[in-house]
Amino acid sequence: MARKLLLEKAHVENIRYYDVYRREGGYRSVEKALKSMNPDEVTEEVKKSGLRGRGGAGFPTGMKWSFLAKPEGVPRYLVVNADESEPGTFKDRYLMEFIPHLLIEGMIVSSFALGANRSYIYIRGEYWWIVDILEQAIQEARNNGWLGKNIQGSGFDCDIFVQRGAGAYICGEETALIESLEGKRGNPRIKPPFPAVKGLWDSPTVVNNVETIAAVVPIINEGGEEYAKIGVGKSTGTKLISACGNLKKPGVYEIDMTISVEEFIFSDEYCGGIANGKRLKACIPGGSSVPILPANLLLKTAKGETRMMNYESLSDGGFATGSMMGSGGFIVLDEDQCVVKHTYTLARFYRHESCGQCSPCREGTGWMEKLLLRLENGQGKSSDIDLLWDIQRKIEGNTICPLGDAAAWPVAAAIRHFRDEFEWHVTNAAEAQTRNFGLAHYAEPLVVQS
């Protein structure tokens, strides 16, 4: 049984409310940090823990915090990125909905470490009911002296504000989020300057994912070195995975990054296998923007090693034969799913969510969508596949923010691994409308576990 840190108490009844949360040992980390540590020691613990950002890029959090510029007389801000809009990712929602106080607690400790007196939660507009949950948790924390002036007599002031987004995916990108928080249109900024130097209202700002901030709580409670013992290599601690798609038991799971992908999909403790007795065809292991992997490459790396659920192993083989941990949105496709249609759906999403600032992303995402729609509808030409490849290559790396890359990677990976399926859509256009290609072609090397 894997160790749980974040979701350990998630199923205690009424854990959403302060009294129960406190009785279960909540806010211990704030007490510990404010009474016996100084801000640099907190940052040091987070560094020791090896915690990596859970928002997608996997950048070490301790290092990110130590990059924060600390000029005299300028306020600093902590912004929690709760704009979870990536298709397939819903772990932050779970965390905020069931144990909102964990996030608040983590924010107080993190704000203390960063010296931020005002912190923000930028939450996705569609999560309207969670706003109320968070507001209530903040009010309870304030009433009990965990927020406001002079917290627990330590002399540290901190307040937390919740800001709702308006439903744009791009506002999850940290500089677009900051723009949106300032009340402007959510256009990503050109970096440098990085937010750590010039972020919210031109002040140094740290933007972290909800899960990253929540993970600070067990790190302070147990110590960074203890935390680093969980997991393997540079993938320390636990990670929330939101599994969805054709699975028997989709949902949010906390894993300790030492299990294999096969165990995660097929064991009863986790997803319980593919629904309806079908076979596994492909999987996107980290949210819609990371490359898709066919079943044989998903379970084994190109070198023949078992693929594990951690940052290094999932990205083993680069983009040619690997993928990425991303934000932990685990999307599983069974043998009946059409990769062309799937890729089209994603391309449509990125076309819609592109902010339109830079030419490659604005024009390229729309072009890819058109071509994929044509292929999906059976009017494609075989040259369209090469054209798609060419377009994605010209978008990737040439844009202001990583959304351009995120739009290009799924298309690239789909063509790389499932080219015969695209070709089948061109050559058997009529049949492609009624039946899906593949029929477990990609699932061949696998045994279905009962």
Partner 1 sequence: MSDQLFKVTIDNITVEVPAGTTILMAARQIGGDVTPPAMCFYSKLQGSGGKCRTCLVEVSKGSEKDPRPMPKLVASCRTTVMDGMEVKNITSERVLDARAGVTEFLLLNHPSIARFVTRLVSVICRTSAMNMAKKVPAMNFPAALSRKKILDHIYSYI
Judged by the rule CB under 6 A, the positions of this chain that interact with ligand SF4 are: 170, 188, 354-358, 361-362, 399-401, 403-404
C-beta of residue 308 within 8 angstroms of C-beta of residue 258: yes
Buried-exposed string 111-144: b where 16+ CB fall within 10 A, e elsewhere: bbbbebbbbbbbbbeebeebbebbeebbebbeee
Q: How far is the CB of 182 from ligand SF4 (least distance, A)?
A: 17
Q: Which is nearer to ligand FMN, 170 or 371 (CB)?
A: 170
Tell me how many degrees the CA angle 30-33-39 measures, rounded to the nearest 5: 125
* Structure-block tokens of residue 36: 């016996």
Exposed e or buried b per residue across 49-83, where buried means at least 16 C-beta atoms within 10 angstroms of its C-beta? bbbbbbbbebebbbebbeebbeeeeeebbbbbbbb
**CA 302 to CA 299: how far, in whole Å?**
10
Which residues from 168-197 bind partner 1, rule CB under 8 A? Answer: 190
Residue nearest to ligand SF4 (CB): 361
Instruction: Give the start-end residues of each E strand in 124-247.
Output: 159-164, 205-209, 231-232, 235-236, 239-245
Could you tell which of ligand SF4, ligand FMN, partner 1, none binds residue 254, using a CB distance below 5 to 8 A set by kind?
none
- Which of partner 1, ligand SF4, ligand FMN, none does residue 83 bind (CB under 5 to 8 Å by kind)? ligand FMN
Q: How far is the CB of 82 from ligand FMN (least distance, A)?
A: 7
Check residue 253 and report its DSSP letter. Answer: E
Applying CB under 8 A, the span of 268-276, 290-298, 352-360, 430-438 interacting with partner 1 comes to: 352-360
Q: Does 387 bind partner 1 (CB under 8 A)?
A: yes
Minimum distance from residue 360 beta carbon to partner 1 (Å): 5
Among 48, 362, 416, 441, the residue binding partner 1 under the rule CB under 8 A is 362
List interacting residues with ligand FMN (CB under 6 A). Answer: 53-57, 59, 61, 64, 81, 83-86, 169-170, 172-174, 207-209, 212, 401-403, 406
Give the shortest CB-199-to-ligand SF4 separation in angstroms: 17
The structure tokens listed for 137 are: 């948790």
**Nearest CB to ligand FMN, comparing residues 88 and 294:** 88
Min. distance of Cβ 5 from partner 1 in angstroms?
Answer: 34
Q: Does position 358 bind partner 1 by CB under 8 A?
A: yes
Is residue 399 a contact point for partner 1 (CB under 8 A)? yes
- For residue 359, the minimal CB distance to ligand SF4 (Å) is 8
Whether the CB-CB separation of 319 and 285 falls below 8 Å is answered with no
The three-point CA angle 206-208-210 to 5° equals 145
Name the helix (H) or strand (E) containing 420. helix 403-427
| 398 forms part of the interface with partner 1 (CB under 8 A) | yes
Q: Indicate which of ligand SF4, ligand FMN, partner 1, none lies near residue 53 (CB less than 5 to 8 Å, by partner kind).
A: ligand FMN
CB atoms within 10 A of CB 183: 7
Reading the block at residue 405, the tokens are 């890359």
Q: Using the rule CB under 8 A, is 389 a contact of partner 1?
A: no
